[in-house]
């Protein structure tokens, strides 16, 4: 009887399909004919199912879906990153909008660029006046570098500034060695060369690269703290163009059966156009996502920053939960047992 | 003193890195200095001499992705 009532209760249990009930009609009939006293005893008395697994399961508190404490932390180059969403600080309408978008994104690590100080207008607004360097870990990039030599120079200059600021990102660099201004595709040879030199100089190199799995392993072997394959070209908003290539990178770098290390961080960098792109990357098993334009050039960057944050959580949780396999044909959610209608082919 | 600063030829009366930053109004700001392709850490700004023809890059952090 107790078992029947538990099943009957499933009707109102959140998270279950209300049609997914396989109750016993005979038991239902018995309950209908019980005296009020018997029914009351059944509803309020001690049930004989204290050892029931199902009962124990329902008494376990529902985990808070956004409780990151239950997730293993993302560690890159020996540092724990609180948020798996890393965002850029470029292309905002103004610094106030940047501040609000960073806040909404929940990011703890933000990227910046290293550029010449203006000699004429040195009294103009500085981004550093609007970026809380005590709150955010600053990840300087080498954007605009087309040779390994220049990327190493810029990395060292970035380190010097972050050292002056006392920021924990001072030995980090987001390495970009690009081929040309039009495609902004990474130069694999220059990237590998710069990675080796920067690793030897004590840097934690977070390495922007293409979605080529072979290149990814070579950068990992050269000592990169994280390999960051592009979903699609920088700022293109095309999302994850080759999910299979990203999946292969993740397998080669993270699956022990393929010589990988589950703790080795792989972060999708570049190409994100909208929130679902972030979710797709995280569902594939990426450890994080780095993006800038997708937020900064949205019609409403602050709202998009919120969306990106939730998209990352959704993708991460989905990855951890383990998706169902894809099947060619349908499988019914409602039971066939008890169907009153004509079923074709039966 | 003739110096090449951020790609521009400048005639500035500054014989040390710290004095150059002061002359340019950048003292106390987060600025990294590269002198003839080597980084000059802030702690040695006051002891690093400049000479005619030196090439300097003075850089800071800006928004970027």
Is the pLDDT assigned to residue A285 strictly greater than 50? Answer: yes
- Residue A297: name the closest of A256, A236, A211 by CA: A236
* Residue pair B64/A89 in contact by the 8 Å Cβ criterion: yes
Q: Which of B37, B58, B64 sits opposite A117 (nearest CB)?
A: B58
Mean pLDDT in chain B? 95
CB pairs under 8 A between A and B: 106
Output the pTM of the full model.
0.80
Q: What is the pLDDT of residue A317?
A: 95
Q: What is the pLDDT of residue A300?
A: 97
Is the pLDDT assigned to residue A225 strictly greater than 90? Answer: yes
Q: What is the pLDDT of residue A16?
A: 41
Mean pLDDT in chain A? 86
- pLDDT tens sequence across A48-70: 444 444 443 444 444 454 555 57
Is the pLDDT assigned to residue A124 strictly greater than 90? Answer: no
- pLDDT tens sequence across A137-184: 999 999 999 999 999 999 999 999 999 999 999 999 999 999 999 999
- Residue A302: name the closest of A97, A131, A50, A139 by CA: A97
From chain A, pick out residues whose CB is under 8 angstroms from the CB of B31: 117, 161
Q: Which of A113, A161, A235 sits opposite B63 (nearest CB)?
A: A113
- Residue A303: name the closest of A35, A160, A101, A127 by CA: A101
Q: If you measure CA to CA, which chain A residue comes closest to B42?
A: A164
Q: What is the pLDDT of residue A101?
A: 97
Can A174 be counted among the known catalytic residues? Answer: yes
Q: Kindly indicate the confidence band of residue A231, based on its pLDDT and cuts at 50, 70 and 90.
A: very high
Q: Which of A90, A163, A290 sits opposite B63 (nearest CB)?
A: A90
Q: Of residues A91, A174, A182, A327, which has the active-site annotation?
A: A174
Instruction: Kindly list the distances between the CA atom of residue A298 and the CA atoms of A16, A206, A231, in Å, as whole numbers in the listed order.
Output: 37, 26, 18
Is A90 close to B37, i.e. CB distance below 8 A? Answer: no
Residues in A whose CB is inside 8 Å of some CB of B read 88-92, 98, 111-117, 119, 122-123, 126-128, 138, 140-141, 143, 153, 156-161, 163-165, 234-235, 290-293
User: Is the torsion defined by CA of A275, A314, A322, A218 positive or negative?
Assistant: positive
As a whole-number percent, the residues of chain A with pLDDT over 90 amount to 75
Q: What is the pLDDT of residue A12?
A: 39
């Amino acid at each position: 009887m107790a078992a029947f009532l538990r099943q009957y209760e499933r009707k109102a249990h959140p998270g279950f399909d209300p049609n997914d009930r396989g109750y016993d009609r005979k038991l239902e009939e018995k309950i209908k004919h019980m005296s009020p006293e018997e029914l009351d005893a059944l509803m309020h008395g001690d049930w004989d199912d204290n050892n029931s697994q199902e009962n124990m399961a329902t008494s376990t508190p529902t985990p808070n879906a956004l409780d990151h404490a239950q997730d293993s932390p993302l560690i890159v180059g020996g540092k724990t990153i609180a948020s798996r969403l890393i965002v850029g600080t470029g292309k905002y309408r103004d610094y106030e909008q940047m501040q609000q978008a960073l806040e909404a994104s929940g990011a703890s690590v933000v990227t910046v660029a290293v550029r010449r100080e203006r000699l004429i207008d040195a009294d103009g607004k500085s981004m550093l006046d609007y970026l809380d360097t005590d709150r955010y870990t600053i990840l300087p990039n080498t954007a605009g570098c087309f040779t390994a030599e220049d990327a190493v120079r810029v990395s060292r200059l970035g380190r010097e500034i972050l050292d002056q600021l006392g920021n924990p990102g001072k030995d980090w660099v987001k390495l970009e060695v690009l081929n040309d201004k039009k495609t902004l595709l990474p130069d694999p040879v220059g990237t590998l060369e710069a990675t080796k030199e920067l690793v030897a100089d004590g840097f934690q190199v977070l390495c922007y690269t293409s979605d080529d799995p072979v290149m990814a392993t070579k950068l990992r072997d050269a000592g990169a703290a994280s390999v960051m394959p592009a979903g699609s070209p920088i700022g293109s908003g095309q999302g994850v163009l080759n999910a299979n290539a990203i999946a292969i990178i993740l397998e080669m770098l993270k699956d022990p059966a393929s010589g990988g290390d589950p703790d080795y961080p792989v972060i999708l960098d570049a190409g994100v156009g909208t929130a679902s792109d972030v979710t797709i990357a995280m569902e594939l098993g990426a450890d994080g996502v780095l993006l800038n334009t997708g937020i900064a050039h949205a019609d409403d960057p602050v709202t998009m920053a919120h969306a990106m944050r939730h998209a990352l959580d959704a993708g991460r949780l989905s990855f951890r939960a383990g998706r169902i396999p894809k099947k060619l044909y349908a499988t019914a959610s409602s039971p066939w047992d008890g169907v009153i209608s004509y079923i074709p082919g039966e | 003193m003739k110096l090449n600063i951020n790609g521009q030829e400048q005639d500035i009366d500054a014989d040390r890195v710290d004095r150059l930053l002061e002359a340019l109004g950048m003292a106390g700001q987060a600025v990294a200095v590269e002198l003839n392709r080597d980084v000059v850490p802030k702690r040695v700004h006051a002891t690093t001499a400049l000479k005619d023809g030196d090439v300097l890059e003075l850089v800071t952090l800006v928004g970027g992705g």
